[in-house]
Homo-oligomer: A and B are copies of this chain.
Amino acid sequence: MSETELIRVLGDDDTSPAPYHPSLDDESLLALYRRMVQTRLFDAEMIRLHRQGRVSIYSSSEGEEALAVAAAMTLSEEDWLFPDYRVSGALFERGVPMEEFLAQLFGTSKDLSKGRQIPTHYGSRQRHIASISSPVGNGIAHAVGFAWAARIKKGPEVVLTFFGDGATSEEGFHTGMNIAGVHKLPVVFVCRNNQYAISVPFNLQTGSDTIAVKAKAYGFDGVRVDGTDALAVHDVVREAVERARKGGGPTLVEGVSYRHGAHSTSDDDTRYRKAAEAEAWRKRDPIDRFGRYLKSRGLWDDARDAALRETLESRIQTAVAEAEAAPPPPLESLFDDVYDDLPWHLREQRQDLTDHLRGLKGRKP
């Protein structure tokens, strides 16, 4: 496999060429499809909630569900995920209930991270998902450190980390890839090359023709896969995960894709890209393509599709209603978890704030 070849399974008519045998059984194929649709509908609902002022910001993965879901699907329970802000499908695939993710989005008292992070910056020890932070690329190097520890401790874990094309310019990518290459660590780097970092197009992001070729700089392989082709993504990432698990070292997977929508609900992509470009990519919608494949195999039909969407919509509505009803985190939680203990200065500051709010301060001499 060369770094410039684009791995595809689905042909232009979205059926697979004859010699292809999917590595997933029929049930798993349907589960993958359902998860992608769930992600699509969930993301759309969040954009609606944002418009209504109920969610402050959201980054949709519309058009990139295949990458998030099919890649995450290749992991075992013991494995760890180091995600970024645009892979809700991967979280769901790791078993995160929508209610729990919504608690994060609303920042309620039920949020595992206690309402401390902006929407999508989820994390869960139980589900082996690192805590997402905003500075682009940082998590890549954490994933590598985690994999290094797994190597040292002879643990079974494979680590998978997601990031965008823009992230490859940051130091987290450079140093993470470099260390992974030195020690042939069990980590899979999945880059969504969706052609833009907010408004900055790929040709201003880097001078290389592909992201995949960058792996060469670190002494391991990069693979370029059609990111709108769920089957191809699954196969490529599965192979990379297996290689990592067997001690074969890291792989950089470049998923060639496109952000159908704006960067986030704060962005207006019409300022920097042509509608025609997005239109062309929408024709290669990963869900449509995968759906056509399933239909061509006789595994799916329009009626089931409609039913699925109806069920999911109502589950999403229920989850939103439940999550939104939860109260905000308690005031005192402001001061928790800065440290394991509560040093005197934070105790004082907490006391000052609660005294103040009880109206006790300033009236004393």
Residues of A within 8 A of B (CB): 169, 171, 174-175, 178, 180-184, 203-209, 213-214, 216-220
Contacts and interface: CB of A to CB of B under 8 A. Distances in A.
Contacts of A171: 171, 174-175
Contacts of A219: 206-209
A182 B209 contact: no
A216 B216 contact: yes
Nearest to A218: B207
24 contacts: A169-B175, A169-B178, A171-B171, A174-B174, A178-B206, A181-B206, A181-B207, A182-B203, A182-B205, A182-B207, A184-B207, A206-B218, A207-B220, A208-B216, A208-B217, A208-B219, A209-B219, A213-B216, A213-B217, A214-B216, A214-B217, A216-B216, A216-B217, A217-B217
Contacts of A182: 203-207
Nearest to A205: B182
Contacts of A218: 206-208
5 tightest Cβ-Cβ pairs between the two chains A and B: A181-B207, A207-B219, A217-B217, A174-B174, A171-B171
Nearest to A175: B169
A184 to B, nearest CB: 7
A219 B205 CA distance: 11
A124 to B, nearest CB: 30
A214 B219 CA distance: 9
Nearest to A203: B182
A178 B183 CA distance: 24
Nearest to A211: B217
Contacts of A204: 182
A247 B220 CA distance: 32
Contacts of A216: 208, 213-214, 216-217
Nearest to A185: B207
A209 B181 CA distance: 11
Contacts of A178: 169, 206-207
A110 B183 CA distance: 49
Given A174-B174, A180-B207, 20 more contacts: A169-B174, A169-B175, A171-B171, A171-B174, A181-B207, A182-B203, A182-B205, A182-B206, A183-B207, A184-B207, A206-B218, A206-B219, A207-B219, A207-B220, A208-B216, A213-B216, A214-B216, A216-B216, A216-B217, A217-B217
A36 to B, nearest CB: 31
Contacts of A181: 206-208
A175 B203 CA distance: 15
Contacts of A205: 182
A311 to B, nearest CB: 46
A217 B219 CA distance: 11
A218 B182 CA distance: 20
Contacts of A174: 169, 171, 174
A197 to B, nearest CB: 12
A207 B182 CA distance: 4
A3 to B, nearest CB: 9
Contacts of A217: 208, 213-214, 216-217
A254 to B, nearest CB: 12
A217 B207 CA distance: 8
